[in-house]
Amino acid sequence: MTSSLLPELQPAHLREVGIDSATVYQGHFLHAVRDTVVLPDGSRALREYIKHPGAVMVVPLLDDGRVIVERQYRYPLQRALIEFPAGKIDPGEDRLACARRELREETGYTAREWARAGVLHPVLAYADEFIEIWFARGLRLGERALDAGEFLDVLAVTPAELLAACRDGVLTDAKTLTGLLWLQNWRAGAWPLDWREVEAAAAPVAAQG
Amino acid sequence: MTSSLLPELQPAHLREVGIDSATVYQGHFLHAVRDTVVLPDGSRALREYIKHPGAVMVVPLLDDGRVIVERQYRYPLQRALIEFPAGKIDPGEDRLACARRELREETGYTAREWARAGVLHPVLAYADEFIEIWFARGLRLGERALDAGEFLDVLAVTPAELLAACRDGVLTDAKTLTGLLWLQNWRAGAWPLDWREVEAAAAPVAAQG
């Protein structure tokens, strides 16, 4: 047992090496693959997992101290849950552009300032999905533009309400709880955010030439 | 927009109702289904997701203030990551029994006291998985009993090291970050834990009669 987690994060004695890969299911939404891997002791094993393009999540801060969350029915869990706005990255899409698009489409808000907090991995045992975490402030409310078949409520709540909802078992979405960890530590002055102003236009236009 | 997230958490205007379900992939590890659902506006949609038996995660507290984490290679992400000990619930297994088993098998530790903190949902868009969060203290080190083909390092680190690793982008596992949110708020006296002593024997034996 060692006492620090930081040095040598990719030790050779844990590594698994893929030697083949096949798609085992290609649905409308899910893409599952099964790879054969060589384990550290030379034996072989199968690894089945979901291929995912990655996603972004936004922690939207209102000027009055409240934050914007959504309530959305999540069919696999047979209930509606509270979440920060999030969505999949389109092919070739810039991550900040994706964050701005998802916030605007799902909640109607645009933001003057953005800061990238970090990244999380929701389910490392069976998906390659990452979720990049962005904070947004200087919010202005416009029109929502939900996808067809998308239904969700938009709520403005205090960080204290969200933390109490986690403590009481009402808020259980892991990405949102990770956003709360960031929010709590940023508000306490413990973790920094590097804010940048963005143009009001949703889609930046590259200069010609 | 409303200002509180707590009342009326299951509103009818968001509900999706399943009308049929079929297994679309049954692998060694993954079980994927595709359901047809009726949306709130009466239209139909498909929902593909992973069926999962549920899991437990343990936040193991050493007497000296450090916590136990693991470093494990996660093939879908092609890297080793830092995590709290966790594992799937066996069919019919009690959740605390599962927590005790996973802690002992993966790290070698047994614990005198246990407290259930809450539950998290890692990936509500495409899995029904839940992870129940347990805290353990009064740790004693014994022998590990890893599954065949399981390789992982066991580390003892301070909560401050873990929080810094999150801030710096080294710790990215969402379940572990949720455990850290609990750890931070419990240590601050903000969130309570209801500790109970357990018997030293790993498998409790029911009284006859």
Which ipTM was obtained for this model? 0.92
Is the Cβ–Cβ distance between B45 and B34 less than 8 Å?
no
DSSP conformational letter for A191: S
Percent of chain B that is helix, strand, coil (3-state, to 5): 20, 40, 40
Sign of the four-CA dihedral B136, B137, B141, B142: negative
Which letter, b or e, does each residue of B117-126 get, where b requires 16 or more Cβ atoms within 10 Å of its Cβ? bbbbbbbbbb
Specify the range with the lowest mean pLDDT, choosing from A25-29, A157-161, B64-68, B147-151. Answer: B147-151
When pLDDT is cut at 50, 70 and 90, the band that residue A9 belongs to is low
pLDDT at A149: 81
Residue B4 in contact with partner chain A when CB distance is under 8 A: yes
Would you give per-residue pLDDT tens digits along chain B (209 residues)? Answer: 444 565 556 788 999 999 999 999 999 999 999 999 999 999 999 999 999 999 999 999 999 999 999 999 999 999 999 999 999 999 999 999 999 999 999 999 999 999 999 999 999 999 999 999 999 999 999 988 888 888 899 999 999 999 999 999 999 999 999 999 999 999 999 999 999 999 765 444 444 44
Find the closest chain A residue to B81 by CA distance: A9
Contacts of B30 in chain A (CB under 8 A): 24, 32, 48-50, 126
Largest CA distance in chain A: 58
Kindly tell me if the per-residue pLDDT of A110 is higher than 70: yes
Q: What is the pLDDT of residues A169-179, one digit of tens each?
A: 999 999 999 99
Give chain A positions within 8 Å (CB) of B127: 76, 123
Mean pLDDT of A114-133: 98
Q: What is the pLDDT of residue A201?
A: 56
3-state secondary structure of A58: strand
Write the CA distances from B199 to A52, A174, B171, B205, integer angstroms.
43, 32, 33, 10
Cβ–Cβ below 8 Å for B163 and A32: no
pLDDT at A12 over 80: yes
CA A52 to chain centre: 12
Contact B29 A48 (CB under 8 A): yes
pLDDT at position A8 over 80: no
C-alpha span between B163 and B184 (Å, rounded):
9
Nearest to B152 among A14, A123, A161 (CB): A14
At B201, list the tokens. Answer: 């024997």
Say whether residue B106 is in contact with chain A using an 8 A CB cutoff: no
For residue B149, the model assigns a pLDDT of 81
Chain A residues touching residue B39 (CB < 8 angstroms): 149, 151
Tokens of residue B86, six digits:
């966790």
pLDDT band at A144 (very low <50, low <70, confident <90, very high): confident
pLDDT of A5 reads 61
Answer whether A187 touches B (CB < 8 Å): no
* Paired strand residues for A121: B173
pLDDT of A53 over the 90 cut: yes
Work out the percent of chain A whose per-residue pLDDT is above 70.
91
Long-range pairs for A195-201 at CB < 8 Å and ≥24 separation? A195/A113, A195/A114, A195/A115, A195/A135, A195/A137, A196/A113, A196/A114, A196/A115, A197/A112, A197/A113, A198/A96, A198/A100, A198/A111, A198/A112, A198/A113, A198/A114, A200/A110, A200/A112
A69 at interface of B, judged by CB pairs closer than 8 A:
yes
| Closest Cβ–Cβ partner in A50, A157, A178 for B4 | A157
| Min distance B208 CA to chain A CA atoms (Å) | 36
Q: Which of B34, B181, B191 sits opposite A177 (nearest CB)?
A: B181
* C-alpha distance from A122 to closest chain B C-alpha (Å): 5
Q: Are A102 and A93 in contact, with CB atoms under 8 Å apart? A: no
Q: How far apart are the first and last CA of chain B?
A: 57
Q: For residues A47 and A126, is the Cβ–Cβ distance under 8 A?
A: no
